[in-house]
Amino acid sequence: MDTGRGTQVEPGAYAPAAWGEVDEQGGEPRLNSMATRFSADGDSWWNGTEWLPAVSENGFWRWDGTGWRPQVPSDLDAARLVDELERLAAERHVRRGELLVQRLTNWTPPESLAAKAREARQLMDRRDAAERRLQDLDARPRQGISAWVSRIIARLNGATDERQRLWLDRDDLSETLRPMLLEIGRSAPAPTFRESEEAMETAARVSREASRVSAANAALAAAQAEWQLRVQARHQHVQEAIAQREQVIAQAEQAVEDARAAREQAIVDGWDRLAQVRMPGSGEELSRFGPLQLCETCIVTPSGTGPTAGARALIGTAQELAADPANADGLFLVGAPGSAELHEAEARDDPTPFLLVRTDWVSAVVPCYGAEDDAHRFAERLAEAAAAAEEWRRTRDEEVIASYEAIDSARSDVSAIESALTHKEQMEADEELLQAIADAREELEREQEGDENVDRAREALNEIIEELWTPPAPFRVEAVEFAWEREDGRTDQPSAWESTAWETVEWEAPAAQAEPAWEPEAAWEPEARPEAWEPEDRAEAWEVEGPGVEPQGEVETEAAGPYPDPGWHEPEAAGRAEPEARAGEAEVPEELDGSEEPEEPEQAEPAQQRSSRRRARS
């Protein structure tokens, strides 16, 4: 990968310090790109020439030194994306509140926030102190097994480990601080200072993006709800068409059932009519004599009940009645009531009259014993009733025949049922009803295929989300080349120990600390001096600086220098003089044994070089 000057680093591609090819004349490898560096708060990135914002304008993307990374998961729906954006906005408000609390001297909080800001500052100081103490404990050399066993025993005895206590204190303080910082960051009036306003503007942009996504999602939900109502209406129309056809078919089926029930009822009615004709009952009582009871249709006797039609009544003595065997033999044979008295009267030659009643089914004899007149009236009434009953019996026979015929007709008549079945089949195959259902289903399918309003709302939401998920243009890494001319005309290159000072590091969110303010020093022009220079008294100038700091000058070691490079030798004599042009820009480290104290250089360090080092260390 070419990482030369101006090369564009694609997202996801790491760009460590890359080396070029070896110089054809035997020089050192060329350092053609430099590593990235972040500011203390992680919101700025040094590309080699200037500080660039490491957070996108909408607050959705963060530059990690090699590419833009989203600050939310990629598998979120719109509603959860809104929640994440609101969380990001709240984080920026918390960051603004943290900046405001850290730099209370740079702004004047209103009365409503003054007490809360002071309280938050105290809590923040306690939290930062706990964090620093934890870092100190972590930086201590590990103790032996005995110390570890002692800590375990102390913990078993109820003692609390200092790290654990510090962790709990730090977490409790952070949890207490967050709502306070959030309120301060949201409520603090503007303007305050640049970093605070930038955090507020980022939070406002993230909130606007969340509002855009929320509004688009709400519009999509409303369009979908309206579309669902139309789909439900179409579905209801289909159900109504189906219900209408089913209702018509159900009516036809009910007509079939009604026809069948009418046929069954006709048969039942025929049998009921036949029963009434066959079993008319005794009718009205017409006369009574002793145990004999004359009714319209029957005569009730001690021997049983017989029909009135065909009944006859005879009055005479026992000798007269017994003279005709047809009158009394049946009575004597079955031992009918009164037959024994009739036999005794005949044997004694008793003149007492008897009333003999004969029917088609039973016969009975009753002695008169002085009630001959009543017997004659009963006999007369019986003769009249018998004549009327005889006429009724002929009519009854005709009605019985008619009832049988009606029953047979009801059994054989299925025309109504067949007609109802034909109508039912016609309704089941009715083209108009079927076409209405087909049309309703077609309308439902067309409606279910999609809706323009829903598509537009979804497209608008997708455009917003796609816009959010489109990373900004990647930053361009500016490389620094260390080239100067040798006496032999060749271009010199940095040594290996100089190049290894530029290494990549990954940014980690630091603990909340006040940002050290610094002012750029006035620029000055170094004076060339031919004499050999002495090292500066700032030993930290030769400490390995973090990645991403652009060197401001070239360094060339002398033959007796304190950090010789074993892999590279000057083609000229080791003790040659330094060029005057570089006399004021180079730095020399302290001696390793510390025997010589560094002397104050004649000229101060260039302001531009010190400023770059400050920014690199920040």
Q: Mean pLDDT over all residues of the chain?
A: 75
With a cut of 70, say whether residue 127 has pLDDT above it.
yes
pLDDT tens track for 249-294: 999 999 999 999 999 999 999 999 999 888 888 888 888 888 888 8
Residue 185 confidence (pLDDT): 92
Q: Is 136 exposed, middle or buried (0-12, 13-18, 19+ CB in 10 A)?
A: exposed
With a cut of 90, say whether residue 421 has pLDDT above it.
yes
**Which of 543, 542, 544, 545 has the alpha carbon at shortest distance from 557?**
542
- Return the top range by mean pLDDT from 64-73, 218-227, 551-560: 218-227
Residue 413 confidence (pLDDT): 92
With a cut of 90, say whether residue 494 has pLDDT above it.
no
Residue 549 confidence (pLDDT): 41
With a cut of 70, say whether residue 302 has pLDDT above it.
yes
Half-sphere exposure of 350 (CA within 13 A, CB side): 15
Residue 263 confidence (pLDDT): 94
Give the predicted TM-score (pTM) of the model. Answer: 0.51
- Return the top range by mean pLDDT from 167-181, 490-504, 512-526: 167-181
CA distance 194 to 201: 10
pLDDT tens track for 439-478: 999 999 999 998 899 999 999 999 998 988 888 888 887 6
CA distance 276 to 269: 10
395, amino acid identity:
T
Residue 175 confidence (pLDDT): 93
Local structure of 95: helix, strand or coil = helix
With a cut of 80, say whether residue 76 has pLDDT above it.
yes
Summarize the confidence of residues 196-215 as an average pLDDT: 91
Q: Give the pLDDT band (50/70/90) at residue 412.
A: very high
With a cut of 60, say whether residue 137 has pLDDT above it.
yes
Residue 510 confidence (pLDDT): 44
Token output for 371: 């009630």
Q: Is 595 exposed, middle or buried (0-12, 13-18, 19+ CB in 10 A)?
A: exposed
Residue 155 confidence (pLDDT): 62
CA distance 538 to 557: 18
pLDDT tens track for 184-197: 999 999 888 988 99
Domain coordinates in residue numbering, the chain: 75-192, 249-451
Task: Find the radius of gyration of the CA atoms of the chain.
Answer: 63
CA distance 358 to 373: 19
Kindly report which listed range (314-323, 430-439, 505-514, 547-556) carries the lowest average pLDDT score.
547-556
